[in-house]
Every structure is written in structure tokens, then in C-alpha cells.
Structure 1
């Protein structure tokens, strides 16, 4: 068996989170698998191993939690992300039916109208915060509307999701800073996800119809609406924000998108690869498993660096370049396999529509100030991004 390389740094330290990509290069150089000394865990940072582990749910299980410390007792019992088959299949089946092609077509029409309204409003202003006024405002309008929750208090969704994604890492300063607001938001979210609080003919009510048919219980329906709702917010907000930042700082690529607005979906996918909104997730080994000549023992935590995999030169040509014409198919920005992000179809739809509307209506987009980085144990995004736009 080969010797195991180890990493002495902290992948959850503020300086690492602020600019992880140089560190990812060093982690990939350690080999297909390595140890992180600080937390006594195993890790993978190359594409081949990360993608394979994400898809091998029997060996790299989610049911013991996708965070460092296992299941968080402060969080509701999961029905999708942190649960394995066969129990996982029931919730995933209900959510999959809720996002049928017919429903997707209806959502596209509504989401497109809102994209037109949002871009028109921002063009009138000229300068704005692309995080607060675009990357947050658009998803926080269209998707909660589709789920059927009330309009007031939606900022609590971001407080909750930021806390949840921080909770997947260690109990550090990032988690401490978001715990109070996150837990305070939890009761509001559960209230909004109750049947009595949802609008009729909404996606949320479709999930309760599965309870009426006996597929799931009423309580399970509530706990399916909640992750469905939050999964359609956090990854989407940061996915759109990261893509807009990439376009604002790569004017030649934005010019390509303007010339061919039909590249909007592709540009969003490239954004997910280039600067992934979800950087890492944990799995737990169910058995001894050999990776690259090293054996990871059973019942050990394994940190999967998905964002590093998306920059692996063994998988991508010129991975450090942002290229709206690249085929980014196969990136693991939303995970892979049965536990891939349940809200990814919604995120892709929103990303495509808002970037497409920008491409058609906005001639130039440039930074009008220094963006402020969100430091989160699992998410990568911004808290603010001042931009200036001109009309086409």
C-alpha cells in the first residue's frame, strides 16, 4: 500500500475560504486521497475520485450526515440530503414528480416574466448591488412564489441556509456568527411550510397531495417542502452571484454572451464549474475502501472538495479560465448521483433566464466597487457586489 500524504492546514479557516483555489491545487498534488491532520479525516480533491465517491452512495454514505460532526440534532430530520436508500427513495420520488417537464414549462414562463421585470428595474438604476438586488432578489421572489409561501420574512430563508451550510463544517467562528439568526429563522420556515400556510395550486401543495395519497405522512410532507424550498435558494443565489462576478470581470466572455444570448444556460453551467456555490460535502465510509493504493477504513469521515474537482486539469482543459463556450457537462457543482442538489433544475432555469435577459438588455456590466466575500464553511459566494450597467 502507498503512503498517505497529509495536509496540515485548515480548509475551514477564513483565509482558506476567502481564496481556496491555490490551496486546491496543492491538495490535488497530494494524490488521489490524503489526510487532513487538524480534523483527523480523509479527503479527496481530484475530479475522478470526488465524482466517483459522490455516485457511490453504498460506500460513501450520507445517512451519517454530510457534515464533519454527523447529524446535527438542532436541525430537522432529513428526508433527502442526509439519508440513504431505501428511505431516501420515497422523498426523492415525490420531489421528482413535483418537478415534471410540464411543471417546468409553466415555471419557465413565470420566471421569464420576472427576469424581464428585474432587469428593467436594474437598468433604470444603472448602479446597484448585484448580490442584494439581483442574485438574492430574483430567486427569493420566483421560487418561494412557486412553492407557495407568503412574501413577508423571506430574508429568513438566507439566514437559515447560511447557518445550515456552516453547520456542515466545524464549530468555528463562521458557524458561531450565523447560529442565532439561523435558529431564529427555523420556526418561521416550518410555519411557512405547513399545509395551511401554502397557496393553492403551488409546488408545496403538490407535495402535500402525496401525503393525501398515502405515499408520505403529513409530517414528512412538511419536512420535504422545507429542504425543497431552501435547496432552491442558497445554491441559486450564490450560483447566480458567482456567475455575474465572473462575467463582470471577464468582459470578453460577457461580449460573447451578448453576441449569443442562447449561451446563457451554458454560461451559468460554466459559472458553476468555475466558482462552485457549494465547495465541499462530507461522506462517511460504510466499509474499508481502497483509493489509489490507500485504504480508507470503514466509518471514517471523508471530505469531498467538489470545487477543487471542478478545477482539476486532469479533467478540464485550462480549468482556471472562465469560458462561456466551454462544455461544462459533468461538473460536480451540484454534486452527483442520487444526492445531487434537489433544487438544481430550478437553479439552472433561474440562472439561464436571468443571464439571458442580461445578455439581451445590458451592454456592459462592470464592478463599481470591491465585492465582499461570504465566508461560509460550505458555500462560496458574496455578501455584496457593487456593479454598474449600461443599456444595450
Structure 2
């Protein structure tokens, strides 16, 4: 790297994995966006991108910014990962092309249509019960309860032991950051949780007709090996629950915090689908992922070397004033398409249609029955190295 490039690079002392940053990331995001298109994070010796244009650019250029060295801080080429790498999230073509083709087919629009009736019925049932209660915890009673029911049912795993799914997700998403207190806490009971997850990733553990068994049918068709199929079921179980739990919780929080927006939504239920996109933009459940450079590359006049880690701050890109008008305003009428929460390019979230279906079913059921939400106490955050959401949202609902 030339002296000139080194001298002109913007430098920040911010720690994106500190409790202060994770509790209120937005002032830090703004500082990083304004510092430049790419910023050197001194504390970790890595690069960060916080502007929409650069985050999107890196996500769509997998040849330069690879995923196979890990999408967290640690570089798989230098240190062994805590679990075998995901053959979809932590893979590049040609392996990624092959595994993703199977999941894309299993989660096709036609397949989602099949799930819709069940998901809507379960949403109606849950919301009817909660509205009758009047007061409940938006996280445990709704944002966790619903995905933990409908998604594992759809995958075809038994009900016994499902309480392991949330700790496993916490292990996975905290492991993308440094080995800090959040990582240690998530890993405290890692052995039994991991064993349970692995026991659910075999053909024998899955119900016929479910999404999991459909992955194994790709083995019979010669598209995957038996081991690869198990790895893809594991990807379902790690990525398919937590992100939706956090997304649903953030949606509830936004509706309670901005009651006028809930009124708008109730008056125009056709806005529900777009409103969830605005939740994803405004309070991104997935805050960031890493990539690793595969060659020297210049970004905004700064040279990044080969083999360097780059932190892509999705949530910062989602509030970039270069891309959005009034980025810090929550507006359910906004066209929020183009947000980075699901990623984009070949690694765009493969299960996003399922997350949308779940949230749409819940918001639709709520819109029919709930006139307004009221926070009965201060929501408590759940800190995570990658995800942003809540541990508790104490709510009271006013029925229609």
C-alpha cells in the first residue's frame, strides 16, 4: 500500500461491537458515513463501509469481496471456525451456486404460496389469544412464539427441544463479531445446543413433505451429497428463526413507538407489505456482515489490500441521506425497496420470502383486531454482535 493511500485513509476509533455502539448505533453510523466511502477501524485493523453505494457495491461484487473466508471478523484462512462453515452463507461460486439453486427452488414463490394458509391461520390464532389478554410481552409472547411455531413446523422438525433454536441463533450471530463478552455469553452452553441442532439435521429427524426433507430429495436427485443436505438444514435452523424474531420485535416496537403510523397502516392494509420493508430499513434486524478482499482494490481513492476484512454496515447504508429522503423518519408509506437488510447480489437472503410471509401474516392479523399499542414499560434491548432487537417489549393493546 502506498504512503499516500495510507495517509489519506479516514481512520476511526469506534468499536462497532461495544455495548455503547450496539445500544445506539445511529450516531456512530453517521460519523462513519461522513468520514468517507471506506474507513479504517483502528481497533480491529479492518475496513468499514457505511454508505449505501459502497455497501451495495461490495455485496454485488463477490469476485472482489468474498464470503468463503467467513462473513464475520475472523478469517477462516487464518483461524479455524467454531463450526464447519455454512455451504451457502460462507461459500462462493461454484459451491454456492449449486447449494443456492436447491434452496431457491425449495423456497420458490409457489412453495411460499403453499405455506401461506397455515402461516395466516397460526397468526390469527395467536393474535386472537393475545388481544384477549390485553397485556403481553411483544418478544416472548409474539416475536419469538410465532416463528418458533410456524418455521420449524414448515421445515419438519419435531416440537421437542425447540427451545434450543434461539440460543443456537445467538451463538451463530454473536460469533460473527470478536470474541467479546457477548460471544462468551452466547457460547456458555454451546455443547448441548449444538448437539441438539445437529441431531435435527439428518434425514431420519425430518417429517416427510417438509422443507428439510425436500433438501434431502435433492440428494436423491444427485444435486447434493447427504452431508451437504444436512448442512443446508442447519442453515435453515440458524438463519431462519432469529432474524425473523428480531424483525417482528422491531416491527412491534415501531408500531408502538409511532402510533400515527399504525393508524395509517390500519386505514390502508394494502401498505402492510411495504411497511415491513420500512421496518427493515429503519430498524434493521441484521446490522452488518463482513467480506474479505481477494485482490487490491481502490474505493473512493483509498487502496484496500488483498486479504483484508471489510465490515459492511447494512443498517448505516439504510439511513444514508445520499440514498433516502428523511432517513431517520419511520414512514410506512415510504417505498423502502433497496434497503440492505437482506443483503443483495448472489448472497441476498435466500429465506427473505418466508420472513416477509410471517410478518405480513402477523401485521394483517393485528390490523384487524388492534386499534393501538401502548408500551407499559421501557423495552429492553438484547445486545448481539450482528443483530439488533429486543429482549422484552411490554405491551398493552386496545382492541378494535
Structure 1-normalised TM-score? 0.98
Matching residue of 2:379? 371
Say which of 197, 203, 221 aligns to 2:229.
221
Rounded Cα–Cα distance in structure 2 between residues aligned with 1:277 and 1:156: 20
Cα displacement (A) at 1:229: 2.6
Matched with 1:52 is: 57
Is 1:325 aligned to 2:325, yes or no?
no
Q: Does 1:29 align with 2:37?
A: no
Counterparts of 1:121 and 1:182, CA distance in 2: 34
Secondary structure of 1:323 counterpart: coil
CA offsets per residue over residues 271-300 of structure 1, 9 Å max, x none? 000010110111000011110011111110
**Greater Cα shift, 144-153 or 67-76:** 67-76
Residue 7 of structure 1 and its aligned partner are, at CA, apart by 0.5
Counterpart in 2 of 1:351? 359
Structure 2 distance, partners of 1:103, 1:45, is 35
- What residue is the counterpart of 2:17 in the other structure? 12
Shift in alpha-carbon separation, 1:310–1:182, aligned structure 2, 3 A: farther
2:91 to 76, 83, 88: 83
Give the distance between the partners of 1:195 and 1:115, measured in 2 at CA. Answer: 29
Cross-structure match for 2:69:
64
Equivalent residue, structure 2, for 1:241? 249
Which ranges of structure 2 fall in alignment gaps of 5 or more residues?
none
Deviates most, 338-347 or 56-65 = 338-347
Runs of 4+ in 1 over 6 A off after TM superposition: none
Residue 267 of structure 2 is aligned to residue 259 of structure 1:
yes
Q: Any idea what the Cα deviations from partners look like across 1:188-220, whole Å, max 9, x if unmatched?
A: 111112111111111111100000111111111
Q: Is the 8 A contact 2:156 2:211 kept in 1?
A: yes
How far 1:76 sits from its partner (Å)? 2.5
Q: How does 1:296-335 map to 2 (within 5 A)?
A: 296-335=304-343
Quote the RMSD (CA, aligned, Å).
1.0
1:230 to partner: Cα distance = 2.3
Query: Is the contact made by 1:274 and 1:311 (CA closer than 8 Å) also made in structure 2?
Result: yes
